[in-house]
Amino acid sequence: MTCEIYVNGAALKQAQSANAIVDTMSAIIMKQFTHDLSDKELRQLITAHIEEDEFCRYVLQRDINKIALALRKAHKDDFFSVPEDNPLKGFLETAGKIASKDSDPEQASLLFGCKQLKLNYWKLSAEEWKWLKRIAEKSDLLKNPKPQRGRIKQ
């Protein structure tokens, strides 16, 4: 509907009519009260005038945004739609739960990896835990967990 009144010029005419009223009233006010008007009041009179085309594009954009949002909601569960969950949020929550001053860095790393894989660390048998540790030792991310910055090589 908004698009139609924009294309046929009806919205433009309405904006022009509103501007004519604002301009006429501004001229009357400025003519009668020029010496009593502050800069703030003059700026208000000037900003009351709207750019017709800009106003029409704003109204169109607002309608398009509503349509796009409705389409997004309608298709959020489609096969190709990206899930709305935030992986970083879960990552930070997991890191906060696992990491503490007293935690064993090796166990924290394994817990974190299990959490990311949606693997229940606590249900692993002793044998599975050993294998998980051996596999994790092959990871480049866990090769040297202690920072070497500032240390002198010998």
pTM of the predicted model, to two decimals?
Answer: 0.40
What pLDDT is attached to residue 127? 92
pLDDT in tens, the chain (154 residues): 567 777 777 878 888 898 999 889 888 888 887 767 777 877 787 888 888 888 888 888 888 999 999 998 898 888 787 777 766 676 677 667 666 667 777 777 777 778 778 888 788 898 988 888 888 888 776 665 555 555 555 5
The per-residue pLDDT for 29 is: 83
Q: What is the SS3 assignment for the chain?
A: CHHHHHHCCHHHHHHHHHHHHHHHHHHHHHHHHHHHCCHHHHHHHHHCCCCHHHHHHHHHHHHHHHHHHHHHHHCCCCCCCCCCCCHHHHHHHHHHHHCCCCCCHHHHHHHHHHHHCCCCHHHCCHHHHHHHHHHHCCCHHHCCCCCCCCCCCC
Q: Could you report the per-residue pLDDT of 49-75, keeping only the tens digit for each?
A: 888 888 888 888 888 999 999 998 898
Query: What pLDDT score was predicted for residue 60?
Result: 85
